[in-house]
Amino acid sequence: MNRILRRSLIFCAPLAVAACGALFAAEDLPKAETILDKNVEATGGKAAYAKLHNEVATGTMEMPAMGIKGDIVTYRAEPAKNYTELNLAGIGKIQEGFDGTTAWSLSAIQGAHVKEGDEKAQTLNSSQFHTEDWKTLYKKVETVGVAQVDGKDCYKVLLTPAEGPAMTQFFDKQSWLMVKMTMIAKTPMGDVEAEQSVGDYRKEGDILAPHKITQSAAGQTFTITLDKIQYNVDIPKDKWDLPAEIQALVKK
């Protein structure tokens, strides 16, 4: 969830005094561990998350600039399974998945693709179901500054996973909710700067979850609006099966 932080510094005293003031402000920033723990509590708490084993989210995806809109459904399950299906009018079906072993994508536009290297590692990280257990997901977390996001004062946290590229998340100082994330997305076409803003937090059971996600990458912006998020539902086992096109690539 990566971008350039803009910080405004006001030098109204000699340089040495300003430097000391900046150092003091930096030391006053809360530790990343504290911010992440407060986010978990603000969105439901560890006890509530521990009761969840899977999730199904349904909604719409829209690219207003291109006049494109379609239905989207995402299935997620512990420990790290993920399947997303997007049906776009005039374009067709776009699928992505991770069954715990193979990370893949399939579409009428780009065909079948099996992810490897950093691209696979990034999919593994994003597919983790119990993200509240952040200590097991990242080898390093650090508060690297402050920033304003849509008028909200936020802490900026850099998270580095055991494998794959780091990401930066922005947390509202007042609510402790994550409002923005930036990263370098690994794609078949190369590295792409990507930004994701989240909002419209609403309660789904005991969990406070975002229902609006706006993503920008490669000069394109699209918005996902979720109508419903369900937990602990009966997900057919074949949802994790690899499509025939992907199976053929894996066998090669």
Confidence of residue 12 (pLDDT cuts 50, 70, 90): very low
Q: What is the pLDDT of residue 38?
A: 98
Domains contained in the chain, CATH given: 31-251 (2.50.20.10)
The pLDDT, as a whole number, for residue 17 is 33
pLDDT in tens, 113-155: 999 999 999 999 999 999 999 999 999 999 999 999 999 999 9
The answer to whether 36 touches 134, Cβ cutoff 8 Å, is yes
Q: How many residues does the chain have?
A: 252
DSSP sequence for 103-152: EEEEETTTEEEE--HHHHHHHHHHH-S-TT-GGGTEEEEEEEEEEEETTE
Q: How far apart are CA 137 and CA 141, in angstroms?
A: 10
pTM of the model: 0.84
Could you tell me the sign of the dihedral formed by the alpha carbons of 155, 173, 218, 100, in that order?
positive
What's the pLDDT tens digit per position in 56-109?
999 999 988 888 899 999 999 999 999 999 999 888 999 999 999 999 999 988
d(CA 69, CA 222): 9
Beta strands in the chain (DSSP E): 54-63, 68-77, 81-88, 92-98, 103-107, 111-114, 138-149, 152-161, 167-172, 178-187, 190-204, 207-217, 220-231
User: How confident is residue 195, by pLDDT bands cut at 50, 70 and 90?
Assistant: very high
Is residue 5 very low, low, confident or very high in pLDDT (cuts 50, 70, 90)?
A: very low
Higher pLDDT, 240 or 162: 240
The CA distance from 118 to 186, in Å, is: 7
Query: Quick one: pLDDT at residue 6?
Result: 27
- 252 band by pLDDT with thresholds 50, 70 and 90: confident
CA angle, corner 39, sides to 33 and 43, nearest 5?
A: 150
- 49 band by pLDDT with thresholds 50, 70 and 90: very high
pLDDT of residue 14: 32
Tokens of 24: 């003091």
Location of structure tokens 């909002």: 199
